[in-house]
Structure 1
Amino acid sequence: MNAMHQYLFDTYRAARLGEPMPPAPGTHDIAVLRSVRDRRRFERVLAGRPAPSTAPTRLLTAGRPRAS
């Protein structure tokens, strides 16, 4: 059984019991990935390790000359 089959069973059960419909598969994937990334960065800071920089920051500073 894949996620779509489970979703169809859950929507059928919710309709029969008068419960709210579950979200479609993949609806909250991006939000979950962002929260996992944020949690890992937070745990690194608590452990005393530097948090990795974000991609836009690295792209903005890539063209700047470094001070020697």
Structure 2
Amino acid sequence: MSITQQYLLDSYRAAQHDERTPPAPGQQDWQVIREVRDYGRFRAVVEGRPAQGRIRAALARIARAGSAGRGSVSRGSVARTPRPHH
């Protein structure tokens, strides 16, 4: 059963029992996302970590580690064979 079918069934049952209909699926998704974000920030403050910029800092660390793992030769310092002069 899909989420839409479940919603329609719940709405039908609510109408039969003179109850309020449940909220439509997806109606409160952004509110849930905001609450999860706020809870993560709250936990960071309680644990003494910075509340903002944590994801960007983590991605920057991963990017730096990934570029350092490619080897000691950078793109600009590739050894090339000299061309013969004519």
TM-aligned CA deviation for residue 2 of structure 1: 1.6
Gaps of 5+ in 2: 54-86
Identical residues among aligned pairs (%):
53
Q: RCO (CA 8 Å, sep 6+): is it higher in 1 or 2?
A: 1
Match of 1:32 in 2: 32
Per-residue deviation, residues 5-53 of structure 1 (Å, max 9, x unmatched)? 1101100100000000111101111111001100010001101111124
Distance in 2 (CA, whole Å) between partners of 1:36 and 1:6 is 25
Q: TM-score, normalised by structure 1?
A: 0.73
Residues 1-68 of structure 1: matches in 2 within 5 Å?
A: 1-53=1-53
Distance in 2 (CA, whole Å) between partners of 1:43 and 1:28 is 23
Gaps of 5+ in 1: 54-68
How many residue pairs align between the two structures?
A: 53
Distance in 2 (CA, whole Å) between partners of 1:25 and 1:10 is 11
- The alignment yields a C-alpha RMSD, in angstroms, of 0.8
After the TM superposition, list the runs of 4 or more consecutive aligned residues in structure 1 that deviate by more than 6 angstroms: none
Amino acid at match of 1:38: D
Distance in 2 (CA, whole Å) between partners of 1:52 and 1:2 is 37
